[in-house]
């Protein structure tokens, strides 16, 4: 297995198929448009490749906020459905921890839907704790 950190849009676009496991309606155009905006804000991706197939991906943001100081945020964490239960997610989390250490982050943060019990269990098993609420006000629906 190979773990890569991606910083360029062209590299990220090559992995649309794994992103579509989380967001099935994404087209190359929609994904590319979102990446154009995200890359302006210190976004990168971690991918895991096995036998020339991308089997896992997560986005990572590095930022700073008043309440937390420097942080690394996990975004859209997905392991290919055929490789779940094989500790692939552990490798992604390990790489996120390495990045957080490299940038001297105070914490790693993420959002997970309250209905995604498997994700909640995974993150709790990796030392994450629920700290508050993430409120959303939908504007364009």
Chain segment 109-125, per-residue pLDDT in tens: 999 988 989 899 999 99
Q: Which CATH class is domain 2-125?
A: alpha beta
- Residue 20 CA to residue 29 CA, distance in Å, equals 13
- Residue 139 CA to residue 125 CA, distance in Å, equals 34
What is the predicted pLDDT for the residue at 55? Answer: 97
What is the predicted pLDDT for the residue at 140? Answer: 87
pLDDT along the chain (141 residues), means of 10: 96 96 96 97 97 96 95 96 94 98 97 90 94 88 74
Token pair, residue 123, equals 């993150």
Q: Where are the domains of the chain?
A: 2-125
Name which of 58, 52, 53, 71 is nearest 19 in CA terms. 58
Answer whether 55's CB lies under 8 Å from 15's CB.
no
Q: In what side-by-side order are the strands of the sheet with 107-110?
A: 2-6, 43-50, 53-65, 69-79, 107-110
For residue 70, the cross-strand partners are 64
Name the pairing type of β-strands 2-6 and 107-110.
unpaired
For residue 2, the cross-strand partners are 49
Token pair, residue 93, equals 């989390």
Name the pairing type of β-strands 69-79 and 107-110.
parallel
What is the predicted pLDDT for the residue at 102? Answer: 97
- Residue 84 CA to residue 61 CA, distance in Å, equals 24
């Amino acid at each position: 297995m190979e773990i890569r950190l991606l910083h360029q849009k062209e590299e990220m676009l090559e992995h649309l198929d794994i992103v579509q496991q989380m967001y099935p309606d994404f087209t190359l155009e929609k994904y590319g448009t979102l990446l154009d905006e995200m890359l302006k804000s210190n976004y990168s991706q971690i991918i895991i490749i096995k036998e020339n197939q991308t089997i896992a991906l997560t986005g990572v943001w590095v930022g700073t906020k008043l309440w937390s100081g420097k942080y690394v945020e996990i975004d859209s964490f997905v392991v290919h459905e055929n490789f779940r239960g094989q500790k692939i997610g552990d490798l992604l989390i390990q790489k996120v921890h390495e990045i957080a250490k490299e940038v001297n982050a105070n914490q790693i943060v993420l959002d997970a839907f309250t209905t995604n019990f498997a994700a909640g269990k995974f993150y709790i098993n990796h030392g994450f704790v629920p700290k508050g609420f993430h409120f959303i006000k939908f504007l364009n629906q």
